[in-house]
Structure formats: C-alpha cells, structure tokens
Structure 1
C-alpha cells in the first residue's frame, strides 16, 4: 500500500499582516484589527472571508495511512510557529512522497500554504517538483505532480467529485453524514477565530483532526466506488478505523466513535 496523507488546515486572520498593510495603530486590539479587516472585506465583496494570503495557519492536521498503521496528528501553535508548522508539513512530503488527499485543498488549504510558506521562507522542493529537477524520478513528476489540478499525486476529493465545477461542490460534513460517518462535532471553520481568541487551541486541534478523519473515511468510500478497494477490503478498512479509534486516548476520539456508533 502506497502511503496516503490526508490533511486539513485551520487558520485565523493574520493580525500582524493586516496591521502592516493598513498602517493600523498599535493601540487597536487584535479583535479590533480583525473586525476592521472583516468590515473592509464585507464592503468589497459582500462577505467577511479574508483573502488567502491573510489566513494565518495555526493547525495542520494529518492522517497517514500506510500498509501497517494509521496515524493522526497535528502540527500547531504554540509548540511551533506558523513557519515551522508549514515547513514540517512539507518535510513530511519530502521524506515520504505520499499521495496527499484533501477536501477543497486546491481551493483553500494549498494556496494558503503557498502564500504563507512564501512569507516565512519555507522550502519544499519535492512538493514543487514538476519534472524539471535532476533527481532520479524527476521525470515522473512531469506527468503526475502535486501542483496540477488533474493529477492524482494531490487528490482534491471535493473538486474531483464535482467534476471540477464549483457549482457542484458539496460540504464535507453533509457528505460524511449521508454516508454514515459522524461528520463535524461541535465546531466548524467559522468558529475557529472565536475559539482562538478564547485560548482554545486544543479544541481547534481536535476539530481539525476529526475533520481529517472524515476526509479519510470519505476517501475510502471513493476508493470503493472507483474499484481500488473491493467490498471486503473496504469493510476491513472501515473496521480497522473503528478499532483504531477504540485505542485512542483523546476525548474527541471517544466522542467521534460514540457518534459513529449511533449514526
């Protein structure tokens, strides 16, 4: 089994960046700076979702499945700075060259990581390889790399299922629940900034990790649909995830498993 890395990010307004770009006075609180940016955005485009380059990454959660195990973990503040979080994510790709899987990763997560990585001086040669390097397998990346929308080295499952039409996109939470998986538990992306202001970084991490597992499970259903897994293999993989959940100490995993049992 080739390594598969499912990932998701959580972000908050880049307060320092907003201050810099708008020459805002130091007396303004972080909340006031964010509200200034939200109001600017609403006036410009009718909503307060900030541009991708002003999304500060505070968590990247990953689920890594290989032939032997499933591991779910987070790279996050305060243990790491934003630059360190992004650098470590790309170092994982450098080491393993996995297939990476996301839900709307091409539309949000990866562009955010591109901009924020650029700001912090992150290096990611393996990720950016497009067949022009001098490595022994460089030419393979000409036909299957992480950057092309239509290659599978990065699979944006939402984009593919919608046949690359934005109007066809479906929410991960809806699809997970319709299949029979737990979906989101107690938080969504719109609540992250408020949770951050209250110092609830652990809750943000937990939310991001359960979302990664939702994506992983929907990906397994997709693998069944496309014939990569047969029914027996799919059932075994789902049973494996349930068994894995039962061994995990985190309260968010206990809640997730309990929600799955009653779904």
Structure 2
C-alpha cells in the first residue's frame, strides 16, 4: 500500500432550500418542505428517493491508510456546513492524491459531491484532472470508470452489471462483518430534523469501516496483499477501533469479534 488509500462515504438529506425554490414553497417549515419534495418525487418516479442534485451532504466519513497511519473520522465538526465538508474532502484528495474507495460511489456519492461542489464553487483541480495539468492523469484519474484511481467496490465486484449489484450491508454480513448493525440510511433525514448530527456521523463512520474491510479482502483477492499482509491489516483495523475510545466503534469491533468467534 505505497499510495495512500482514502475510503469515503457520505450521508445526505433533501436540500430543503432548493426544494423551496423549485416547488415555490416559501414560508413552509423544513419538515413540510421535505414531505412535499418526497410526494413530488413519488409521483414522478414511484419512490421518494431524491434526484442526486437535491441531496444535501451532512456528513462525510473517511478511512485514511497511509504508509504509517490508519485513521477513521468524520470530516469537519458537527457544526460544519456543507461547503466546509466538501472543501475538506477535495483538499484531502489534493493533499494525498490517494486511491479513492467507495461502495456505490460512482452511482451515488460522487455525483452528489459533483453537484454540491458546483453549487458551492469548490475548486478540485487534482480530482478533475484527466491529463490537462499532469499528463499521467490521462491514464490514472478519478473520473474514468474503468481506471482504479477510484475503486467503486460495488461497481467492480458486480462486473459493472446493475443486475449483479449487492447492498453493502448484505455483503458485509455475508463476509462476517457487523454491517450496519440495525442502522439504516433511511433514518438520516429524520435524525437530521431532530438535530441528531452526531448519530449520523457515527453511522457514517461504521459504514466506511465496513467498506474498508471489504476493500482489504478485495486487495487480497487480486493479489495486492499476501495472506500475512491481509491479517496484519485486519489487526491494524481492530487496534484502531479499540484505541478510538468511541462507543460506536468499540461496539463495531465487539460485534466483529463475536461474528467471527461463532
């Protein structure tokens, strides 16, 4: 793992401000606007999951693995606005030039980040470079689907076939990981309206740990890690979780241990 690895996951809520403008709902409270947006989406699509550009990012969690460090955290603080979260994410890409890893990042996380960065005027030169600034980026960039500067594990493992795609929770549990431990992204909007941003950030962090552990297994499968290296990397994750002192990460480690001791 000579090149840094940055595994990422985002949590979002409906963009209430955009909903007010697009639907002409000035004067309505946030909860009522969200309900109107969901009803409008239900009518046009048969479900209430918002289009990508109408998702507001409220949390970005990452696992960063460099040559000598391993860390999981949520960007910014609970008080950070969306622009700051986006700025920190793309600054991290600029600083580390990492291999980006996600689960369904190509289908959801990155398009959302693109639209929201456009909204806030976030500069991300390295992220968007396909050879204009650094020639080698033509063959090693984050935008091209079949290059591995960004590895969307769901996309790759399904051989880019939507019919073969798996849910993160399903695959994690199948592999003996805790998965979402009864949590769900569907609860994020309600948590946001209730001011429970810490719970959202904690949930996002456990999701990104699931993704990182699946990534390690993927690296073992494709010969990038030996069996011994794979075991060492797993042990690093356990040590990181135990050393965090965070209840949600300690609970994850305990659930992971129990699932592998049966």
Query: Please, what TM-score do these two structures have when normalized by structure 2?
Result: 0.96
Partner of 1:79, secondary structure, is: coil
Counterpart of 2:159 in structure 1 is 163
Counterpart of 1:120 in structure 2 is 120
Give the superposition deviation at 1:76.
4.9
Q: Equivalents in 2 of 1:239, 1:254: separation in Å? A: 14
Assess if the C-alpha contact under 8 Å between 2:101 and 2:151 holds in 1.
yes
Q: Deviations over 1:112-133 (max 9, x none)?
A: 0000110011110010000012
Pairing 1:101–2:108 present: no
Give the superposition deviation at 1:175.
0.7
Q: Deviations over 1:235-258 (max 9, x none)?
A: 111112112211111110111011
Q: Deviations over 1:138-182 (max 9, x none)?
A: 111101100010010011010000011111110111111111111
Q: Equivalents in 2 of 1:184, 1:170: separation in Å? A: 14
Q: Equivalents in 2 of 1:77, 1:57: separation in Å? A: 13
State the Cα RMSD in Å: 1.0
Give the superposition deviation at 1:81.
1.3
Q: Equivalents in 1 of 2:60, 2:240: separation in Å? A: 21
Pairing 1:231–2:227 present: yes
Taking the TM superposition and a 5 Å limit, the aligned residue runs for 1:145-224 are: 145-224=141-220
Partner of 1:62, secondary structure, is: strand
Pairing 1:248–2:228 present: no
Q: Equivalents in 2 of 1:239, 1:174: separation in Å? A: 23
Assess if the C-alpha contact under 8 Å between 1:18 and 1:37 holds in 2.
yes
Q: How many residues are treated as equivalent by the alignment?
A: 258
Assess if the C-alpha contact under 8 Å between 1:12 and 1:56 holds in 2.
yes
Assess if the C-alpha contact under 8 Å between 1:58 and 1:77 holds in 2.
no
Assess if the C-alpha contact under 8 Å between 2:73 and 2:205 holds in 1.
yes
Assess if the C-alpha contact under 8 Å between 1:76 and 1:205 holds in 2.
no
Assess if the C-alpha contact under 8 Å between 2:142 and 2:149 holds in 1.
yes
Taking the TM superposition and a 5 Å limit, the aligned residue runs for 1:24-63 are: 24-26=25-27, 28-63=28-63
CA gap 1:11/1:77 in 2 versus in 1, 3 angstroms: farther
* Between 226-235 and 177-186, the greater mean CA deviation after superposition: 177-186
Assess if the C-alpha contact under 8 Å between 1:59 and 1:77 holds in 2.
no
**Which runs of 5 or more structure 2 residues have no equivalent in the other structure?**
none
Aligned structure 1 segments of 4 or more residues deviating by more than 4 angstroms: none
Q: Equivalents in 2 of 1:239, 1:64: separation in Å? A: 16
Q: Deviations over 1:61-119 (max 9, x none)?
A: 01000111111111256432111110110001111100000000000000000001100
Q: Equivalents in 2 of 1:21, 1:240: separation in Å? A: 48
Q: Equivalents in 2 of 1:208, 1:175: separation in Å? A: 17
